[in-house]
Structure 1
Amino acid sequence: MTLHKSARDLLAGGIFVAFGLAFGYASYGYDLGTPLRMGPGFFPLALAGFLVLLGLVIALAGVRNTEDAPLGAFPVRGFVLIIGALMVFALTIKGLGLAPALFLTVLLAAFASRRTKPLAGLVMAVALPAFCIAVFIYALRVPVPLFGPWWPM
């Protein structure tokens, strides 16, 4: 199946716009606050606006581009591993705690790409949680336990 590059860009732009609108709608359930005293809904709304803007720019580029290019196969492996990683995090954060849940999440997400070597995936699965722990637990003092009740310690 061959589509114009413009069709690919229009599809990608539409997906960005749809996600941006959905997150923007969801952010209105929280207090927005003001730019000086931001509420919990301010940042998600700003991020949603950025997604919509990015989607419109990508779609506009698609309208201007008329080159032929194959659409390519749908990356089933990547899709399953990324969605699976998000689900593992959601299901294990309370039971395992932040450190092991992040380790598992990053490890699964790292192998969504066929180009990731096992050592590189392991390095990412150690380094990214270490960075998140430093930022969220120690710097921002977010009250999330490092290890949960499921962890055998």
Structure 2
Amino acid sequence: MGFVRNPKDVISGLLFIALAGLFAWQSRELNIGTAMRMGPGYFPLFLSILLGGLGLIVLVNGLRVPGEAPSGIVWRALILLTLSTLLFGFAMRPLGFLPALAATVFLATLASRKFNLVTALSITGVMCVFCWAVFILGLGLPIPLLGPWLGGY
């Protein structure tokens, strides 16, 4: 593999492209609709195309710009990011959108070796406001902000 200048980027790009293909394949039986009247498969397919495009950019960058080889798996990050994703899925219904999102984002910040409590709380707050503005205000999704465990519904 003499033409690979940055193995980390090449592997990441290939992983993004593979995941994009998997997600696009999973959405194949959903109705796509049109841009004006989106079906349930429109957004997943759009995100798959976007992820595949980003993967292609990262892959090409790995072939052009020198970098270092992967040194191993960062288990802490892998485990905490997986747990944060599962936490959101399991906490959304009982806690509601904002508490589940806040817990998820905060847990994801713990995956960094450069964890800082002030930065983590800032990122959590900004993400909660941003997601509330996009999904509740902007898209008008009927997602309860607080779940029944916290007196919502």
TM-score by length of 2: 0.82
Q: CA–CA distance in 2 between the matches of 1:68 and 1:99? A: 39
1:53 aligns with 2:44: no
Letter in 2 for 1:120: T
* 1:63 shift after superposition: 4.1
Q: CA–CA distance in 2 between the matches of 1:68 and 1:147? A: 45
Q: CA–CA distance in 2 between the matches of 1:31 and 1:19? A: 20
Partner of 2:110: 111
Partner of 2:134: 135
Judge conservation of contact 2:7–2:68 (CA < 8 Å) in 1: no
Count of aligned positions: 149
Q: CA–CA distance in 2 between the matches of 1:90 and 1:145? A: 14
Q: CA–CA distance in 1 between the matches of 2:24 and 2:46? A: 8
Residue ranges of structure 2 left out of the alignment (5+ in a row): none
TM-score by length of 1: 0.82
Q: CA–CA distance in 2 between the matches of 1:134 and 1:105? A: 18
1:123 aligns with 2:87: no
Worse-superposed segment, 84-93 or 130-139: 130-139
Partner of 1:19: 19
Partner of 1:98: 97
Q: CA–CA distance in 2 between the matches of 1:126 and 1:5? A: 38
* 1:21 shift after superposition: 0.3
Judge conservation of contact 2:7–2:67 (CA < 8 Å) in 1: no
Q: CA–CA distance in 2 between the matches of 1:57 and 1:136? A: 28
Partner of 2:30: 30
* 1:6 shift after superposition: 4.1
- Mapping 1:82-93, distance limit 5 Å: 82-93=81-92
Q: CA–CA distance in 2 between the matches of 1:7 and 1:107? A: 30
Runs of 4+ in 1 over 4 A off after TM superposition: none
Residue ranges of structure 1 left out of the alignment (5+ in a row): none
